[in-house]
Structure 1
Amino acid sequence: MTAGTAVERYPAVHAPDSHPRRRTRWLTLVACAYAAVQLVLVVPRTGHALGWDESVYVSQLDPRTPAAYFSAPRSRGLSYLTAPVVALTDSVLALRLTLVVLSATALYCAYRTWRPLLGEATAALAALLFAGLWSAQLAGSQAMPNLWVALGAVAALGWFLRASREPRAHWWLAAILLGVTLVRLPDAGWLALPLLVTALCFRVRRHTVPFLLGGLALGATPWVVEAQLRFGGVTGRLHRSSATEGGMSWHINTGNAWRSLDGPQLCRPCHVPLTHPELTLWWLALPLLAAVTLLVAAHDRRTRPLTLTTLPLLCAFALSFPYLFLLSYSAPRFLLPAYALLSLPLAASAVRVLAAGRRTWPVTAAVVVAICLQLVGQAVLLPGISARVALVSERYRTAAHSLNSLGLRPPCLITGPGALPVAYAAGCASAELHGNNRSLTRGALLDRTRLMPAAVLVLRQHQRPRYARHWTRHRLPGTPWTAYTPR
């Protein structure tokens, strides 16, 4: 048997899928539980204010608010996703609830793609392992790209593996890769790399190459057009993106990723101490678990294609590589795509152990206990982390309301640290004179202050900028800022 044909076989056992009427809808239950956790533990805390990055994405197509500065590394897929909701209402809660429904549906659809490959029980367990992470639960109702890349990667890889037997799989593969590229172009490139290499190495897979390249090209078109219009071309945008990310080059960033595993949401610079080290053991065990799954898959390669294990692992490594070795900062959400892909072979190995039954009952008991401890540990972390996220977002909304009460109403302008999310909440335009979001010169800023109400936000322990030395000072209770407005 050649390697090319070994890739094509489906698992020998399909008991969970052989009788649709008798099938337990485990995957449906996991998706519903995922939505329920968000509705109970996340949305009640975060449902009334948007974070920094969320404000940037949502503001782009909001008809009521000027768009915030859109930096070079970003892609506009999240703006397209949220546009229908913000066109109808300015309610953050409505946006959150919509995203809960969409994320739970996407979780179901992504892992359902693997049901013919792994079976119902394995696909459901994989979805549970991923959805059980606090970072996945928090991201479900957020307007952030990483969760959508993660679920898109799972679906794209599933359709890629099914493409040789199902003609429609090619089109699903292209469509999903297009969507991932719209949401985050660099991640789509890292995801497509091992798929393209596999397609070129196995003759039976080569017919997927046009669909892979077509999905990437169509999804990248808005990014390329914007690069030409705003950044002087693709090379210029890549250079600006690297500068915004702090200079993408070789960094051993695994320590930062580990320290930020249980918060904060953005570790830049990453000097925080490791919190709850006992709850990070699962992360340290991932390389060992990946090696075990490879050994198990190699042992079972006569009944189950080895590619079902190797490709998810390769794609997970590719998607995690820039965040572990090219950046100098970290955030828990960065590795969501890798976790989603790793859940597939880990679940497959766990189901094999559980199916062995009494013959290996100590190992079976250990697997069950490990899964339960992992889910409980993540559940313990979620309320505290979501409360901290809500506190930061609520400060933006509080500052916005205080500025509105001072007479700063649309059309208006806000600048200074924290200006982007505060301005969106206040209905104002935002501008920055320094840093990665620099969008205006000092002279242009002063010219605009003569045309509309304006304010500069300054952290309380800092001095006001020189151009605002004669402006009126205002305290903003409940926030870390002081505001200055022109007299």
Structure 2
Amino acid sequence: MSDSPQATLTGQLRSGPDKVLRSAGRSRGGLGLAAVAGAFTLAQLLLVPPWMGLGWDESVYVSQVSSHAPAAFFSAPRARGVPLLVAPVAVWSSSTALLRLYLAVLSGLGLFLALRAWRGVLRVRVLATAGALFATLWVTLFYGPQAMPNYWVAVGALAGTGYFLRAGAGGRDRTALWGLALSAALMAWMRPVDAVWAALPLLVLLLGVRRWRRPAPLMALAGGLAAGAAEWVIEAYVSYGGLAQRLSDASRIQGGLGWHVAVADQLRGLAGRTLCRPCTGALPPAVVTLWWYTLPVLAVGAAVVAVRARRPAATLVPLACAGSAAVPYLFLIGYAAPRFLLPAYALLAVPVAGLLVHLVGAPGRIRRPLTVALVTVALAGHLAVQFAVLEHTVRRTTVSHREWARTAAALHRLGVRPPCLLTGHAYVPIAYYAGCSSAAIGGHDANTTAAALHRSARSLPVAALVPPGGAPPGYARSWTPADAGELRVYLAPPPARPEREDRGRAGEQPGRGLSAPGNRRSSPAP
């Protein structure tokens, strides 16, 4: 962070954005950023097997555009960004390996562009360090090649903050204005509410701080957020009963937004629990959570160094955005998932990297070698912990996904083939694997009734999935029990179809047209 006066270009926040870019020359070393992004892509392909099947949420997103299975129920909090992101592959191929390869390459490109947005604000060595810190977190590596929105909100937040600092400098950087707008649109396209939280400090600066009040950056930021969220808002009125109703439903599905201190829940998730709901049990060992406790200390240290050097903007702005992005997932919901904090981690990586570069570059015949040695040892230990957690998480996730695939294959052997309908335990991912529709009569994703399930059974195979030792739901007690992998399955009486109808259905594409994607009140029953 303190390489030289020519290396910064942050200026004082109080002196206004006019001086933010004046003291720095153009940085070089785009190849360094490309190397970090390329290493990130390669690490994903090596450490997260491309053949690892799709998870529950991924099945929902991919099914919206998949040629393999009908669209699953699309609940109120979700947005259409991920389905559009995966569409270039999912619309014509059901290969999970191909989808993972595509997303790994795309996520590496996204990281490169997000880091490049900061060129001219910070030196390349700081940006490369920031990229490496963020890219080597187990949660970043794990979710980079997945069809999930959180990584892309993180990339948008990181890029948008860099473009904001460039756009607020008072020059005529049209690239920065367009970059700010597109970054905001990307965030809102993926998760509109998360986008607002991540951009809130930027909006406060543009509206509430006189020296930062400039119409062009404000219009770019607000316009980008509006453009990205437009489809979500329109869909709210078309399929969810209005915007207020969709927000209310989203809050209910997330357990009711309100004061919930989820810090301990997030700590439990650091051991590789991809979803901690309910979040019980002991906290992970201290060696697993030490880096998380260290982050706030490093952030404060970075802020102190930046303020003392009279160039706080490039440190305090991402810190403010990181804190704002983390607020809802630390204090407003009653459960946790490590991926929720990816935007905060991406933003924190910038000031933390600046502090580390500053410490390593501090002069002193004894102090400098000692600092380099301590930082090297600390980072090596940190990487060892991250990769150990990643290996454990990948192994456990792969096992569960393979079990879903085995259950789907067993269902096919039992005669449950597309077009078909599944409900019950783990019904969404298993239905995707089997090429079936999915439905639930209770819970957060309830979208049908028992009567509708019985009506569906008159025309297509319907099965209820029950975990080992569980009892069948009331509507399925008279259905035929069978084993499907580790699960117990209850098969509805087979539909009686005339021979002519059977011949007519023989040419149909499996699993198409059985559900109405995105319609909160629709039932997958025909």
**TM tier relative to shorter chain:** over 0.9
- 1:288 and 1:2, CA in 2 relative to 1: closer, same or farther beyond 3 A? closer
Rg larger in 1 or in 2? Answer: 2
Using the size of structure 1 for normalisation, the TM-score is 0.94
Q: Tell me if 1:296 matches 2:305.
A: yes
Whether the 8 Å contact between 1:51 and 1:393 is mirrored in structure 2 is yes
What is the CA–CA distance in structure 2 between the aligned matches of 1:306 and 1:24, rounded to whole Å?
24
Is contact 2:17–2:212 with CA below 8 Å preserved after alignment?
Answer: no
Alignment correspondent of 2:280: 271
Is the 1:357–1:364 Cα contact (8 Å) retained in structure 2?
A: no
Equivalent-residue separation in structure 2 for 1:148 and 1:358 (angstroms): 41
- Partner Cα separation in structure 1 for residue 126 and residue 237 of structure 2: 45
CA distance in 2: counterparts of 1:334 and 1:474, whole angstroms: 38
User: How much does 1:194 deviate?
Assistant: 0.7
Percent identity at matched positions?
A: 43
Q: What is the letter of the counterpart of residue 191 of structure 1?
A: A
**Contact persistence 1:4–1:202 (CA under 8 A):** no
Instruction: Name 2:437's counterpart in structure 1.
Output: 429
1:148 matched residue in structure 2: 152
Mean CA deviation greater in 393-402 or 137-146:
393-402
> Across the two proteins, how many residue pairs are aligned to each other?
475
- Given residue 151 of structure 1, which amino acid in structure 2 is its aligned partner? V
SS where residue 115 of structure 1 aligns? coil
Verify: 1:41 aligned to 2:52, yes or no: no
* Structure 2 partner of 1:243: 252
Q: 1:222 aligns with which of 220, 226, 231?
A: 231
Residue deviations 1:429-485, cap 9 Å, x none? 0000110010101111110111111101011221111211121111122x3x21110
1:190 to 192, 197, 212: 197
2-structure distance, mates of 1:77, 1:442: 32
Residue in 2 that maps onto 1:327: 333
Instruction: Give, in angstroms, the shift of residue 427 of structure 1.
Output: 0.6
Aligned twin of 2:97? 93
Superposed displacement of residue 183, structure 1: 0.4
Looking at structure 1, the residues matched to 291 and 490 of structure 2 have their Cα atoms a distance apart, in angstroms, of 48
Shift of 1:319: 0.5
Instruction: Specify which of 34, 56, 61 is matched with residue 65 of structure 2.
Output: 61
Corresponding position: 1:465 with 2:476: no
Equivalent in the alignment of 1:3 = 14
CA distance in 2, matches of 1:109, 1:358: 36
* Residue identity opposite 2:404 in structure 1: Y
- Listed as ranges, the gaps of 5+ residues in structure 2 are 1-11, 494-526
Question: Which stretch shows the higher mean deviation, 4-13 or 124-133?
Answer: 4-13
The answer (yes or no) to whether the contact 1:290–1:346 under 8 Å persists in 2 is yes
Conserved 8 A contact 1:31-1:104: yes
Q: Is the 8 A contact 2:189 2:228 kept in 1?
A: yes
Are 2:219 and 1:210 equivalent residues in the alignment?
yes
Residue 109 (structure 1) aligned with residue 113 (structure 2): yes
2:181 matched to which residue of 1? 174
CA distance in 1, matches of 2:15, 2:436: 58
- In structure 1, C-alpha distance between the alignment counterparts of 2:21 and 2:280, rounded to whole Å: 47
Check whether the contact 2:67–2:94 (CA below 8 A) recurs between aligned residues: no
Q: Could you say which residue in structure 2 is the equivalent of 1:372?
A: 380
Q: Higher helix proportion, which one?
A: 1
Runs of 4 or more above 6 Å deviation? none
Distance 1:139 1:300 in 2: 36
TM-score between the two structures when normalised by the length of structure 2: 0.87
RMSD of aligned C-alpha atoms? 1.7
SS, match of residue 484 in structure 1: strand
Q: Mark the runs of 5 or more structure 1 residues left unpaired by the alignment.
A: none
**Aligned equivalents of 2:394, 2:128: Cα separation in 1:** 25
Structure 1 counterpart of 2:33, one-letter code: L
Give the aligned partner of residue 438 of structure 1: 446
Query: By how many angstroms is 1:63 displaced?
Result: 3.2
State the distance in 2 between where 1:10 and 1:279 align. Answer: 39
- Secondary structure at 2:438's aligned position in 1? strand
Tell me how far apart the structure 2 counterparts of residues 210 and 113 of structure 1 sit (CA, whole Å). Answer: 19
The correspondence for 1:337, drawn from 325, 343, 362, is 343
**Shift in Å, 1:115:** 2.4
Report if the CA contact (8 A) 2:20-2:165 is conserved: no
- TM-superposition CA deviations, 1:163-203 (whole Å, max 9, x none): 13312211111112111101011110101211111112144
Alpha-carbon deviation of 1:366? Answer: 2.1
The 1:11/1:339 distance shift into structure 2, 3 A limit, reads farther
> 2:97 aligns to what SS in structure 1?
helix
The CA distance in 1 between the partners of 2:91 and 2:250, in whole Å, is 29
